[in-house]
Chains A and B, each alone.
Chain A
Amino acid sequence: MINWAEEWSSFYKQFVTLGGYKRLFDGLIATVEIAVFGLAIGIIIGILIAIVAVMPRYKLLPKILDKICKVYVAIFRGTPMVVQLLVGHYLLLPLLGVNVSGVFEAVIIFGLNSGAYVSEIMRSGIQSVDAGQLEAGRALGLSFWSAMGKIVIPQSIKNILPTLGNEFISLIKETSVVSFIAITDLTKALKLIGDATYHYFMPYIMLALIYLVIVLLITWGIKVMERRLARSDRK
């Protein structure tokens, strides 16, 4: 049975009296930092790959670039996040001989990982726009790139933005594995508070609630965005 009074008093002592909340705050910042900047890098990589994916195929250069992107996407979608972190931290970084802060390292790896997913989101978003739209633009005398930029991409953004929000949600939740490479994120911070007293009940409940609140906030943001984007839809 759980002794509520004891669980609460030991948690209160660790969290408030001994200043554990500072640890939680630092962890929360690390988690948000990794997810936000990871997604930012992911969007850049995703745009680059999506551009390559929709380029016309009759020249040699797009073919080679496309192969490279396919390999990249296959590697990052085909291995678990934890494995990418471990390989990056204990294998690649020492090999490259660079010394960066742990959070920065996680941002890069999460960025590379989400780049693979975001590129797929963008590619499918662009391809979901009817092919006739591009053909019509080309028939009116626009070049491939201006037809893409002025006709296809504005329409595809409507499909892409909400899905990007979902990617952000899954990224926030995935950051809970960064403690594998000794980063103190939200999960690790609350685990440490639990470790200090061997009372894990309150810290873990709090951990679940914080993630839930963050995700609900993002979900709400996506809803607002979807409503705004649907304003011009035919009813």
Chain B
Amino acid sequence: MKKILTLLLTVILGVACCFGFAGCGENATVKIGSQSGTTGAMYADCLKGCEVSYYDTFALAAQDLKNGKVEYVVVDGATAQSLKNDISGLKVIDIELSSEYYGIAVDKAQPELLSSINTILESKKAEIDAIIEKYMNDDEENFVPVASAVKDESKAATQLVVATNAEFPPFESISGDKYVGIDIEIAKIIADELGLELVIDNMQFDAVVQSIGTHSVDIGMSGLTITAERKKSVNFANPYYIESQYILTLESNTKLDDCMTVIDVLNVLTANK
């Protein structure tokens, strides 16, 4: 018994040591980070021979990019710029990986809400374009922080509950005890037009589509790309923004500097396989 136990322990420790050395060695695969549930993560997922790390927020992914844990982050263009401005030493590779439309996700059980949102998007187009313009120019003076009312089930008929993941500047982020961003200001316009009280329900990004699907919120605005898979769970209003996926990397990383097209980028990223 004693001998068996000693042997077992030695084997476990031996393997643990080997494992330890393996962990220190440089890994040949390209490491890509993204936020789980986003289009960027799905894009990275399709790259052969790359190891994808799924973060809770893009900001954490960018932090790990800076710390050298991942080499590239696949992220929506506007957010890539915003991260580059906030965290020093990062650069955005100026090649569009894929194009997509952002839309407002609406509860499938409320078709009349969908049509009224589409009407508002049509009639307030100038205002919405001005909002997008001011955030894209980083015109911080004119940002309007929006306060959220408290969610109250008994007042469901007079409240517009918007699901968002407020960690996605410039579309939505937290500013003190209020919320700020393109989606937030558009949500305010919609709520005002409908004569409802605006409730912002801040949650994990993966939970946004899920909670609209289970009817616990009315709409979702979180820089949501319109995809076929999401359309099965929610309805989408007409798109309000065209976005692309970009690659964020360290300024010192020159591997992608000579790339001219998406094909070049993909060749570099999947060179190992």
Interface residues, chain A, CB within 8 Å of chain B?
33, 36-37, 40-41, 43-44, 89-90, 93-94, 99-105, 107, 179-180, 182-184, 188, 191-192, 195-198, 200, 228
Contacts and interface: CB of A to CB of B under 8 A. Distances in A.
B36 interface: yes
Contacts of B66: 94
B195 interface: no
B244 interface: no
B53 A195 contact: no
A182 B33 contact: yes
Given A37-B19, A104-B19, A192-B36, A200 B210 contact: yes
A101 B19 CA distance: 11
Given A100-B24, A191-B206, A197-B229, A41 B16 contact: yes
B12 interface: yes
Interface in B194-244: 206, 209-210, 213, 229-230, 232-233
B20 interface: yes
A180 B229 contact: no
Given A104-B20, A196-B42, A200-B210, 16 more contacts: A33-B19, A40-B16, A93-B69, A94-B67, A99-B69, A100-B24, A101-B23, A101-B27, A107-B23, A180-B56, A184-B54, A188-B54, A191-B206, A197-B232, A198-B229, A228-B1
B15 to A, nearest CB: 8
Contacts of B54: 179, 182, 184, 188, 192
A183 B33 CA distance: 11
Contacts of B64: 89-90, 182
B130 to A, nearest CB: 33
Interface of B: 1, 9, 12-13, 15-16, 19-20, 22-24, 27, 33, 36-37, 42, 53-56, 60-61, 63-64, 66-69, 206, 209-210, 213, 229-230, 232-233
Contacts of B15: 37
Contact of A182 (B20, B60, B68, B233): B60
Contacts of A36: 12
B233 A107 contact: no
A198 B213 contact: yes
Contacts of A100: 23-24
A195 B206 contact: yes
Nearest to B42: A196
Contacts of A41: 16
Q: Chain A interface secondary structure, helix, strand, loop or mixed?
A: helix
A108 B268 CA distance: 33
Q: Which 9 A-B pairs have the closest CB atoms?
A: A104-B23, A182-B53, A94-B67, A198-B233, A40-B16, A101-B23, A40-B12, A195-B37, A37-B16
A100 B23 CA distance: 6
B149 to A, nearest CB: 27
Nearest to A94: B67
Contacts of B42: 196
A198 B63 contact: no
Nearest to B14: A40
B209 A198 contact: yes
Contacts of A183: 53
Contacts of A184: 53-54
Contact of B69 (A37, A102, A192): A102
Given A90-B63, A179-B54, A107 B19 contact: yes
Contacts of A182: 33, 53-55, 60-61, 64, 69
